[in-house]
Structure 1
Amino acid sequence: MSDDQNKPLTAYKVLTADQMQALERDGSFAGAPVDLEDGYVHLSTADQLAETIDKHFAGQADLHLVAVDLAAYEGKLRWEPSRGGQLFPHLYAPLLLETAIAYSPLERHEDGSIRLPVTG
């Protein structure tokens, strides 16, 4: 996805219940410990999401999924290589509640795929 026209307009952030409560209460989320350590908020595209959850959140319960409007972060979002050279959206700013298109508890369909929050 080197061409901006091919990049999705929405990405996703996985949050714990406490992090989701903080986002709702404060209107912004500076990041999880790994985000703060790396200097950016890690996001995933819909296609990358299941692998992200399976790798970084395995066995955790009470997770939430936030759909993020990437257009709201012009100049603060970079597509950078990560796992296997895939380009991931990295947000160099706090995640703002006002840019959340939708959010919901993290659920999987019967086939194991991720149920995305309903937008629009």
Structure 2
Amino acid sequence: MATKIIYTMARNVDWRAAEATGAYAGSANDAADGFIHFSTADQVIASAAKHRAGEAGLLLVAVQAALLGDALKWEPARGGQLFPHLYAPLPLDKVLRVDPLPLGPDGLHIFPPLEKD
């Protein structure tokens, strides 16, 4: 899984705060769980539908998993799938790109092209 691109969804307001400090600490849900939730390209659309349905003002943050070191753990979650969880703040200098994640007329998020392995 060393070359895998992983994704997290950040609220615009939280991301702007991270830009001021140089690191993203995650959402309130991330803080409650003790890690930043990430998903693979194959998981992120379902994650958005389940956890961020209808939520406007989101950004999709892409990171190369290998850059996160030992703080990144692959752990079983929904349906036994392995999900990437970051047990540290995300340094913004490790981010590959940040894309807006607008809502379509159907209320579902419109994703940019996702990089799959």
Q: What is the TM-score with the length of structure 1 in the denominator?
A: 0.83
Aligned length: 112
Task: State the structure with bigger RCO (CA 8 A, min sep 6), 1 or 2.
Answer: 2
Going from structure 1 to structure 2, the CA distance change for 1:32 and 1:59 (only over 3 Å counts) comes to same
8 Å CA contact 1:109, 1:115 repeated in 2: no
Q: Which residue of 2 aligns with 1:62?
A: 57
Q: Which residue of 2 aligns with 1:50?
A: 45
Q: Which residue of 2 aligns with 1:114?
A: 111
> How many Å apart are 1:116 and its aligned residue?
4.0
8 Å CA contact 2:56, 2:102 repeated in 1: no
8 Å CA contact 2:36, 2:86 repeated in 1: yes
CA distance in 1, matches of 2:92, 2:25: 11
Q: What is the TM-score with the length of structure 2 in the denominator?
A: 0.84
CA distance in 2, matches of 1:8, 1:27: 24
Select the residue among 77, 82, 93 that pairs with 2:77. 82
CA distance in 2, matches of 1:29, 1:91: 11
**Percent of aligned pairs sharing the same letter:** 41
User: Counterpart of 2:10 in 1: which secondary structure?
Assistant: strand
What 5-or-longer segments of structure 1 have no aligned partner? Answer: none
Q: Which residue of 1 aligns with 2:30?
A: 35
Please give the root-mean-square deviation of Cα atoms over the aligned residues, in Å.
2.3
Segments of 4+ in structure 1 off by > 6 A? none
CA distance in 2, matches of 1:21, 1:103: 12
CA distance in 2, matches of 1:72, 1:8: 9
CA distance in 2, matches of 1:86, 1:35: 18
